[in-house]
Amino acid sequence: MRQLYIRDRSTDLHGTTVIRDQKGQSCYLLVGKWGMHHDALSLYAISGELLAEVKQLTLGLLPKFALYVNRQRVGTIGKGLGFMQQVVYIRGINWIIVGSPLTSRYKVFRGSHLVFSIQPVEFSGGYCHELKVSNEADEPLAILVASILNHWARRGDQEPLLARLRKCNPTWGTSMSFSISNQLNNPVNKFKR
């Protein structure tokens, strides 16, 4: 399983992101922009060969994107509604994304097999996303899907939302049953008979 690192594109003024492996070597170039109808991101090998693209099909609250490999459309992905947990199906390649926009952690499956996982990691100078990809042939689409997920969760601050919430309130993210049981066991909240 190879690890790849993607820097958050929201701070990049040039529209180009270098994807690196765990040794820090450049593997891919991600070029393009979001926001307008038919905008696209293109993924190139370091040698300059176009490997895959994602094109924005629709705008709005629930945008859709088309995935291309070798200039052939292989799938479509649309944003689902979900705050705590999200499940998104990618038509055409039959991948299922399961994860949380709060933590920016996702796992992507084809059937019962893990294709790749995404999680934020902190490096000097900020956060980036770590991809662990099971099969090297899936890396181009994995990078593009990770870019879409990052685009949907884009914030001015690169720090994951849950980490920011915990700074404000250290008890944020504790289990619901724990907080309810604390409320029930609190003598102030007991009913008087």
> What integer pLDDT is reported at residue 28 of this predicted model?
96
> What integer pLDDT is reported at residue 190 of this predicted model?
42
pLDDT in tens, 23-32: 989 999 999 8
Rounded (5°) CA angle 176-180-183: 145
Enter the DSSP assignment of 145: H
Show Cβ contacts of residue 108 under 8 Å, excluding neighbours closer than 6 positions: 95, 96, 97, 98, 114, 115, 116, 117, 118, 142, 145
> What integer pLDDT is reported at residue 191 of this predicted model?
44
Local confidence pLDDT in tens for the 193 residues of the chain? 899 998 865 545 457 889 999 998 999 999 988 767 778 899 999 999 999 999 989 877 788 999 999 999 999 998 877 667 788 999 999 999 999 888 889 999 999 999 999 999 987 667 789 999 999 999 999 999 998 888 766 544 445 555 656 666 666 554 443 333 344 444 444 444 4
Rounded (5°) CA angle 122-128-133: 110
pLDDT in tens, 135-160: 999 999 999 999 888 876 654 444 55
Distances (CA, A) of 12 to 32, 55, 165: 11, 19, 25
> What integer pLDDT is reported at residue 72 of this predicted model?
95
> What integer pLDDT is reported at residue 33 of this predicted model?
80
CA 101 to CA 113: how far, in whole Å? Answer: 22
> What integer pLDDT is reported at residue 86 of this predicted model?
83
Q: How many CB atoms lie within 10 A of CB 159?
A: 15
Inter-residue contact 66 to 76 (CB < 8 Å): yes
